[in-house]
C-alpha cells in the first residue's frame, strides 16, 4: 500500500496534488510520502513483536536526511555501508548504538571513524577485514562488537546483480568454514563476537530462500554455542521484495516474514536485527516527469520524457519494471496505446519501457513512475551534465523540497582549472 492515489481526477501524494509540486519545482522530480515510509517501517516492527529486535533501515535505498530523520524518530536503526552513510546517519540524529556497519570493503579509516563515533556492530565479511578491525581497535584501546557474515549458499531467486547469498557471490564467508573463522575471531583481543549476520539478496518474492538460509543459521548458532561462543544476536539482513507491477504476484507480507523468523529462529532466544530498505522506501516514492514529445517511428510510437536514465537508472541497469501512469486520471474504459518510453540521453539504453500499453498522453502532460522511492535518487548522476533532480517530501497537505535541483553555475563551479591553463 502507498499514499499516491487519484483524487478528483488528479494523482495526489497524500493530500498534495502532484501538479502543484510540479509547478513549484519543475520536472522531473522525486516525491516521497511520510505516511508510507512510517507505515512500512511499522509493519516490520510489528511483525517481530514479542522478540527482542531492532529494525535497521538499509539507507543505501534512499539516504536523504529528511527520510533518515523521519525513520529515526520512529525508532529505526540504520544499516550503513560507507563512511558517508555513517556520517549521514549521525547527522540525522541516529545514535551510534543503533548503527550497523555492513559491506565487504571497509577501510581502516572507516573502521576508526565508526569506533570513535559509536557503533552497534560491524558485520565482518572476511578474515583480512577481521585482522584490520582488530588492529585498529587495539590501537585505540577499545573493543569492537562484531557479527560475522556467513554465506549460506542459498539461491535467492532474484536478479543476478542483486543476489548475494550464493557461493559465487563476493559476500561473507562460506558457511562451511564458519566455525574455523569464529575460532579465529575469538582469539583476537579487541573483538567481541556477538552474533551471526546473513543476507541473501534483494527483491525476494518468495519466503522459501529465507527459510532455507535461516534454518542453516539456526544450526550454526547451536554449533557455535557448543564451541563456546556467546551468540546472542542474529542479523538477518533485508531483501523482502515489493510489488512493482499491478498484478496478482505480490511478494509475501512483512507479517508473513515475521512469522517465518519466529518459527525458524525464535527458539534460540537471540535478539533479531533486520535491514529492510526497498520495502520501506520503494513504494514510498514516485518520480514525476513531463512528456516532451510523442514521436512516430517506423513501427512504434515513442514517448519522449524529460526524465532520463541518469535520474532513474534501474530500468537500464537491471531491466527493472516500473508502473508508469498519467498524473491526470484517464477516463474509465479509454483505449490504451503502446509506447516505447524513453528519455533524452543520447544512448539507446535510456529506455524505461518498450511496447508499454498505457492511456494516451500528449506533450506537456505529466507521468509518474510508481515504486521509485528505493534505488532512485541515490543512484542518480549528472550524466550529460543534467542536474540532479529535486527530492520532495510530503506530510499530509504540506510538501517541502528536501534536495533542490542544482543550478548550472553550481555544477560548473565544482570544477577547477589547473594553474597552467
Residue range 265-307, pLDDT digits in tens: 999 999 999 999 999 999 999 999 999 999 998 888 999 999 9
Taking phi over 0 as left and psi of -120 to 50 as alpha, with beta for the rest, 203 belongs to left
| Gyration radius of the chain over CA positions | 23
What's the confidence (pLDDT) of residue 243?
74
According to CATH, the topology of domain 4-31+282-412 is Lyase, Ornithine Decarboxylase; Chain A, domain 1 (2.40.37)
Which element (helix H / strand E) includes 87? Answer: helix 83-91
Provide the pLDDT for residue 203: 79
Return d(Cα 43, Cα 47) in angstroms, integer: 6
What's the angle, vertex CA 390, arms to CA 20 and CA 292, rounded to 5? 70
Confirm if 198 and 236 have CB atoms less than 8 A apart.
yes
Fold held by 103-274: TIM Barrel (3.20.20)
Parse the chain into domains and list their residue ranges. Answer: 4-31+282-412, 103-274
Cα dihedral 89, 94, 96, 102 sign: negative
Strands of 236-350, DSSP E:
271-274, 285-296, 301-305, 324-326, 337-342
- Quote the CA–CA distance of 75 and 41 in Å, as a whole number: 9
Q: What is the Cα–Cα distance from 185 to 223, expressed in whole angstroms?
A: 16
Q: Name residues whose C-beta falls within 8 Å of residue 160's C-beta, 6 or more positions apart in sequence.
A: none
Among 382, 247, 368, residue whose Cα is nearest residue 313: 382
Active-site annotation, residues: 346
**pLDDT for residue 158:** 47
pLDDT score recorded for residue 170 = 56
Taking alpha carbons only, the member of 150, 232, 164 closest to residue 197 is: 150
pLDDT tens sequence across 172-190: 899 999 999 999 999 999 9
Alpha carbon distance 192, 387 (integer Å): 45
Q: What is the mean pLDDT of the chain?
A: 93
Question: In a 10 Å sphere around its CB, with 0-12 CB exposed, 13-18 middle and 19+ buried, how is residue 159 labelled?
Answer: middle
Residuewise pLDDT in 10s, the chain (421 residues): 689 999 999 999 999 999 999 999 999 999 999 999 999 999 999 999 999 999 999 999 999 999 999 999 999 999 999 999 999 999 999 999 999 999 999 999 999 999 999 999 999 999 999 999 999 999 999 999 999 999 888 865 544 444 444 445 556 899 999 999 999 999 999 999 999 999 887 678 888 889 999 999 999 999 999 999 999 999 999 878 887 877 656 788 899 999 999 999 999 999 999 999 999 999 999 999 999 999 998 888 999 999 999 999 999 998 999 999 999 999 998 999 999 999 999 999 999 999 999 999 999 999 999 999 999 999 999 999 999 999 999 999 999 999 999 999 999 999 999 999 9
- Provide the 8-state DSSP code for 167: T
pLDDT, position 168: 53
Amino acid at each position: 500500500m502507498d499514499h499516491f492515489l487519484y483524487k478528483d481526477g488528479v494523482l495526489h501524494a497524500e493530500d498534495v496534488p502532484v501538479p502543484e509540486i510540479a509547478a513549484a519545482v519543475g520536472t522531473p522530480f522525486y516525491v516521497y510520502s511520510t505516511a508510507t515510509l512510517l507505515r512500512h517501517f511499522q509493519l516490520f516492527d510489528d511483525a517481530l513483536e514479542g522478540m527482542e529486535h531492532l529494525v535497521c533501515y538499509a539507507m543505501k535505498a534512499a539516504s536523504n536526511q529528511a527520510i533518515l530523520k523521519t525513520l529515526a524518530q520512529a525508532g529505526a536503526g540504520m544499516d550503513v555501508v560507507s563512511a558517508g552513510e555513517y556520517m549521514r546517519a549521525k547527522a540525522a540524529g541516529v545514535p551510534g548504538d543503533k548503527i550497523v556497519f555492513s559491506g565487504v570493503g571497509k577501510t581502516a579509516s572507516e573502521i576508526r571513524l565508526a569506533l570513535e563515533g559509536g557503533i552497534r556492530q560491524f558485520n565482518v565479511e572476511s578474515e583480512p577485514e577481521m585482522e584490520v578491525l582488530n588492529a585498529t581497535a587495539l590501537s585505540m584501546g577499545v573493543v569492537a562488537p562484531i557479527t560475522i557474515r556467513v554465506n549460506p549458499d542459498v539461491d535467492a531467486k532474484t536478479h543476478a546483480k542483486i543476489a548475494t547469498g550464493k557461493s559465487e557471490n563476493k559476500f561473507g564467508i562460506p558457511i562451511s568454514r564458519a566455525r574455523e573463522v569464529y575460532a579465529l575471531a575469538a582469539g583476537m583481543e579487541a573483538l567481541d563476537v556477538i552474533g551471526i549476520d546473513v543476507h541473501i539478496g534483494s527483491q525476494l518474492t518468495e519466503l522459501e530462500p529465507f527459510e532455507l538460509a535461516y534454518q542453516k543459521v539456526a544450526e550454526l548458532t547451536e554449533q557455535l554455542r557448543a564451541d563456546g561462543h556467546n551468540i546472542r544476536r542474529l542479523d538477518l539482513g533485508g531483501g523482502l521484495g515489493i510489488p512493482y507491477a499491478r498484478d496478482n504476484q505480490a511478494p509475501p507480507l512483512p507479517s508473513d516474514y515475521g512469522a517465518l523468523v519466529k518459527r525458524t529462529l525464535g527458539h534460540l532466544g537471540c535478539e533479531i536485527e533486520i535491514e529492510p530498505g526497498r520495502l520501506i522506501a520503494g513504494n514510498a516514492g514516485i518520480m514525476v516527469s513531463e512528456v516532451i514529445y510523442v514521436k512516430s517511428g517506423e513501427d512504434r510510437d515513442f514517448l519522449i520524457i524529460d526524465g532520463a536514465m541518469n535520474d532513474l537508472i534501474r530500468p537500464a541497469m537491471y531491466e527493472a519494471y516500473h508502473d508508469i501512469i498519467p498524473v491526470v486520471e484517464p477516463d474509465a474504459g479509454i483505449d490504451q496505446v503502446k509506447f516505447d518510453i524513453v528519455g533524452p540521453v543520447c544512448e539507446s539504453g535510456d529506455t524505461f519501457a518498450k511496447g508499454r500499453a498505457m492511456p494516451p498522453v500528449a506533450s506537456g502532460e505529466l507521468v509518474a513512475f510508481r515504486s521509485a522511492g528505493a534505488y532512485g535518487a541515490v543512484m542518480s548522476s549528472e550524466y550529460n551534465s543534467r542536474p540532479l533532480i529535486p527530492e520532495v517530501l510530503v506530510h499530509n497537505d504540506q510538501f517541502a523540497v528536501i534536495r533542490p535541483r542544482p543550478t548550472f553555475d553550481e555544477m560548473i563551479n565544482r570544477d577547477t582549472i589547473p594553474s597552467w591553463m
